[in-house]
Chains A and B, each alone.
Chain A
């Protein structure tokens, strides 16, 4: 290893530039590169290689971070030079007609302006609650409704009321309000919701859906993080649009599945019936839409912004709505990833090559967890050992 490589990998500023940069640091290294052009190639190469070693990190929502800071300050009894309140639990911004409150890391917005709500809700980092909590519905009135069952359903009626789990009824505020609602599904849960236009949406574990109580305007728009299967009511006059982090999918009346988890590199859209048109968010005027036919899959690569189309059996991709999983020669670790989300557990491999085994089979996730794992053991010829309620090790 060259001297320069050694010097650089021991320099915390260099490492910080690769793993956790900021504008000042960028400028610092740009200046350095200008002053040492002969080192440029080596630096870029080293930077590229080290970048591959980025970790996947948990983060705290800003509200939680601030709350913790204030708690610590208060406990220590630190003074401030100005007279700012020591503990801030509610922040109010009145100026833009926008009111939001932080409740355990989940934020709720009430606003008249639909677009600003979307951009704000989209950029906000919401903590998906850990297992032990069921799905949570945050209504446009600011109410938090715990849906209790790990598999729940929410129905919006024409009269503007909300029926939860075929049981309790909540009054939605005003049938013409543009109030935004948010359904948050933690890992280990699933939920089904019927929107005001009778569109049915199945939401998979670790997902969020943001939608209005009533659809008004030229399109019916919802915002999705995670995975959902849609059966959209046909209405040519008011196309249904699903927005995700990078793409929007426009629909006339049809059945399709979208997988758009933040941590995945690929956004997958699978069409079962009907037709959809996919567009990148912020696409230019002349950028063509991607139209899908039934039994086609569009895989959008977030990094390269390329889309590829595959012919598939759409049924495979929508079985999760029935709690089923079907796979044919798929990497073992990909299957376990889905199982992880469904039960909110984690698997580690004793030997990394075990994860690369290809397996075929069918799972019924509604069965007891232990039965499912036994089946996986048989199919993969491995042993899956329990470490605690949330952790398993896969061994030979």
Chain B
């Protein structure tokens, strides 16, 4: 098992050791997923303590109640889905009102790095604006979809399960985003080319 290229099929052995109470195996699992779990959880709740408690409970429950996970290749899926459910459960308990929007969607607060560019009146600005416009059109559910797709090893089926979407829909969303990125930014370059070629005359 090459470190860094571990894929889902290689968790079986580590998983068995974890079930046996091996602390080092737990450490391997923890180190592999903690950063992304934390990043993911932070987009669902601002409450850091609640998030850490949730992460703790996810692992506790994993050990106490789900040791008979027949398919260790679902480990990552289990972790993310449980975390999501655990946070929502805890947040609901804290607040009496609902934390869901009218559509029943939990507000997933994910920002892209490109959305947070500060002032930069350079030639770069045009490209950044086009990109930002596309990104700002993405609603919370799309952002959650993209986060799971890009930052975890979850496949379309698993992502679909977590978000209540058809795996085909998951696939289409991603391709559509790429297409719009290409067409938008491509067009701007075309416009620039036209302007430059005109002024050169």
Residues in A lying within 8 Å of B, measured CB to CB: 1, 5-6, 9-10, 12-13, 15-16, 18-20, 22-25, 28, 49-50, 52-60, 65, 68-69, 71-73, 75-81, 130, 263-266, 299, 301, 308, 330-331, 334, 337, 346, 348-349, 352-353, 355-356, 390
Contact = CB atoms under 8 A, between A and B. Distances in A.
Interface stretch (B48-56, B81-89, B192-200): B48-56
Interface string B58-84: 011001100000000000000000000
Contact of A25 (B4, B175, B179): B4
Contacts of A15: 149-150
Given A1-B175, A53-B150, A334-B119, A75 B46 contact: no
Contact of A13 (B5, B52, B146, B174): B5
B165 interface: no
A66 to B, nearest CB: 10
Given A5-B178, A71-B56, A78-B23, A266 B119 contact: yes
Interface string B158-195: 00000000000001001101110110000000000000
Nearest to A393: B107
Contacts of A16: 153
A300 to B, nearest CB: 11
Contacts of B154: 12
Interface in B117-135: 117-120, 122, 129, 131-133, 135
Contact of A72 (B48, B56, B147, B149): B56
Contacts of A353: 133, 136
Contact of A266 (B23, B36, B59, B118): B118
Nearest to B2: A24
Nearest to B55: A68
B42 interface: yes
Contacts of B120: 265-266, 299, 301
Contacts of A28: 5
Interface of B: 2-5, 7, 21-24, 26-27, 30-31, 34-36, 38-39, 42, 46, 48, 52, 55-56, 59-60, 63-64, 109-120, 122, 129, 131-133, 135-137, 146-147, 149-156, 171, 174-175, 177-179, 181-182
A75 B151 contact: no
A109 to B, nearest CB: 24
Contact of A9 (B38, B136, B174): B174
Nearest to B146: A53
Nearest to B23: A78
A19 B150 contact: yes
B118 A1 contact: no
Contacts of A346: 109
Contacts of B155: 10, 12
B150 A55 contact: yes
A58 B34 CA distance: 12
B131 A78 contact: no
B129 to A, nearest CB: 8
A352 B133 contact: yes
Nearest to A69: B30
A60 B52 CA distance: 10
Contacts of B113: 54-56
Nearest to A21: B4
Contacts of A390: 46
Contacts of A9: 174-175, 178
A13 B118 contact: no
Given A55-B151, A56-B116, A72-B55, 5 more contacts: A52-B181, A55-B146, A72-B60, A79-B21, A79-B22
